[in-house]
A and B are shown apart, each in its own frame.
Chain A
Amino acid sequence: MAVDNDTVRRIAFLARLKVEPEKLEDTKSEFNKILEWVEELGEVNTDNVEPLVSVNNEALSLRADEVSEGHISQEILKNAPAQEFGYFVVPKVVE
């Protein structure tokens, strides 16, 4: 399943990364090299094999419904690149 330039661009946008036009070919060929390599997995017969989702065999623990955190907006905003009136600020999002 070799990828083309459009796919690389589409994937890059999904990941919010930019691939410079001059690097597109290199990125694509590297991409294909890695994909070709992982496609070795196709050799393995996985009929009737359950996917391994979690190596833990322990049941998920549930937390009691208590308010134990909050009222730390200063700490929450401490590292913010931009903030005003207690909000995080980003460029205008146009719907």
Chain B
Amino acid sequence: MSEYVIETEKGKWEIICGLEIHCQIISKSKIFSGASTEFGDDVNENVSFVDAGMPGMLPTLNQECVHQAIKTGLGLNAVINKYSEFSRKNYFYADLPQGYQITQFQYPIVGEGFIDIDLDGGITKRIRIERMHIEQDAGKSIHDIDPHKSFIDLNRAGVGLMEIVTKPDFRAPEEAGAFLRKLRSILRYLGTCDGNMDEGSMRCDVNVSVRPLGSDEYRTRCEMKNVNSVKFVMQAIEIEARRHIEVYENGGEICQETRQFDPVALTTKVMRKKEFAHDYRYFPEPDLPPLILGDELINKIKTELVELPDAKKSRFVKELGLTPYDAMVICENKEVADFFEKAATGRDAKKVANWLMGDFFAMLKKKNLEISHSPVSAENLGKLVDLITKDVISGKIAKDVFEIMAETSEDPEKIVEEKGLKQVTDTSAIEAIIDAVIASNPDNVASYKAGKVNLLGWFVGQVIKQSQGKANPALVNKLLKEKL
């Protein structure tokens, strides 16, 4: 376990934190209506009479949302509940057309599970999942068009959400950060949520309390709603924890309340006190009978499940010889892992990994490209590594070749051929260069012979330079030693 302690003049404190994450389900249509889930369409165009809460309209449950929830539950190593129920959560808000949200309360579709997170130093920690349920999203209120009016767009109203609730297992901001990245990675592997916190397809509520180090009590917690990036979540935890500590150390008490994290001011401020907390009056949704799932369906989805990051990581370590760290970095993103696996098959996987995580990632970053749009294909990256392994080109020339590949998307073999970049392994050609270098540098030759052996490197450099990089360095080294 990682030790994260906030130490003040008066004492040592420990953070207790749990997360609730809302994840938009990837599906074509909404969870309870046939309107599209497409983001960015014209205002109120992806709205059915059901989504608008018109009188007499009834919800019908989208099968895909149920399947996506089961997949996600399995990805969270969680129990899939064969009996679950929908409930209504009642409250008034302009972008909540029915005056209630259809959600799951007492009987969620997914029960307890866990995610193992990777922390610095190769440590892993298990974060327990309390539950996951499915529900509908609200619409959007736009407050900045007019000083006296709010504008309501219901395109998002009714999009399916999965709400994942963790146990209060986080003891450090980094753990919450690692969890969110891991969760996002799993969701993307599963294809159940695109996990874009900045677009709001994944939204995080953070519960924080503190306690004196070594104590096992649970003190009053505060909730911060809709913190919308991994970085902000980590900052919010630390800042809120420090606020609690300051209050306690000054003899005060923390009130249970909902707060808002301000990422600019780096403070949290109160949104809603407990006495004004909503009374949601949950009760079973009478428009939807209970949801009963069969073993057959659950097993079918289980067998069709993709290989998840943890399994892939172990396989890359065990079968391809990657270091756990490299495997973790490569496996975080499924597209990267797939790209890597394609490039590494039948080759020195470690070398491919080095290229991928070095020049390749740097190139994508520089060009600001997703891996799916990479000008260098997995096959070509593999071929490039082959050219090095087979001594056709040197590592240095390979870097030049890679730059050309990044510009032209061409096959490295073709580039090497056309540009005449093949390594020179012809002894006589190299000897001729060596002779010339020795002849034009009598002083250095003398020094070398007098015992300044580290000048050898300088000679190697000179020879390779004159060969325009094509001379095989190992060969140059060997021949130089002989001649000198």
Q: How many of chain A's residues have a CB under 8 angstroms from any CB in B?
A: 35
A-contact bits for B168-203, CB 8 A (1 contact / 0 none): 000000000000000000000000000000000000
10 nearest A-B residue pairs (beta carbon): A68-B34, A65-B64, A62-B63, A87-B151, A69-B48, A88-B152, A69-B34, A86-B43, A73-B44, A70-B35
A54 within 8 A of B: yes
User: A79 → chain B, closest Cβ, in Å?
Assistant: 9
Given contacts A54-B286, A56-B289, A85-B151, contact A93 B141 (CB under 8 A): yes
B207 within 8 A of A: no
Residues of B within 8 A of A (CB): 27-29, 33-36, 42-50, 52, 60-66, 85, 92, 94, 141-143, 145-154, 271, 279, 281, 284, 286, 288-292
Given contacts A60-B291, A62-B66, A87-B44, contact A67 B35 (CB under 8 A): yes
Which listed residue, B48, B141, B288, touches A60 by the CB 8 Å rule? B288
B-contact bits for A67-95, CB 8 A (1 contact / 0 none): 11111110111000000111111111101
Q: Considering the chains assembled together, what is the distance between the CA atoms of A77 and B290 in angstroms?
A: 33
Is B153 a contact partner of A93 (Cβ separation < 8 A)? no
Is A89 a contact partner of B48 (Cβ separation < 8 A)? no
A16 within 8 A of B: yes
Which listed residue, A68, A85, A95, touches B29 by the CB 8 Å rule? A68
A41 within 8 A of B: no
Q: Considering the chains assembled together, what is the distance between the CA atoms of A53 and B290 in angstroms?
A: 8
A66 within 8 A of B: yes
A6 within 8 A of B: no
Q: Considering the chains assembled together, what is the distance between the CA atoms of A69 and B46 in angstroms?
A: 8
Q: Give 16 CB contacts A-B under 8 Å.
A: A60-B61, A60-B288, A65-B29, A65-B63, A65-B64, A66-B29, A67-B28, A67-B35, A70-B47, A76-B154, A77-B44, A85-B145, A88-B151, A90-B150, A91-B148, A92-B143
Is A93 a contact partner of B151 (Cβ separation < 8 A)? no
User: B160 → chain A, closest Cβ, in Å?
Assistant: 10
Chain A residue with the shortest CB-CB distance to B142: A87
Chain A residue contacts of B46, Cβ below 8 A: 70-71
Chain A residue with the shortest CB-CB distance to B141: A93
User: B233 → chain A, closest Cβ, in Å?
Assistant: 20
Chain B residue with the shortest CB-CB distance to A55: B289
Is B47 a contact partner of A91 (Cβ separation < 8 A)? no
Q: Considering the chains assembled together, what is the distance between the CA atoms of A11 and B334 in angstroms?
A: 51
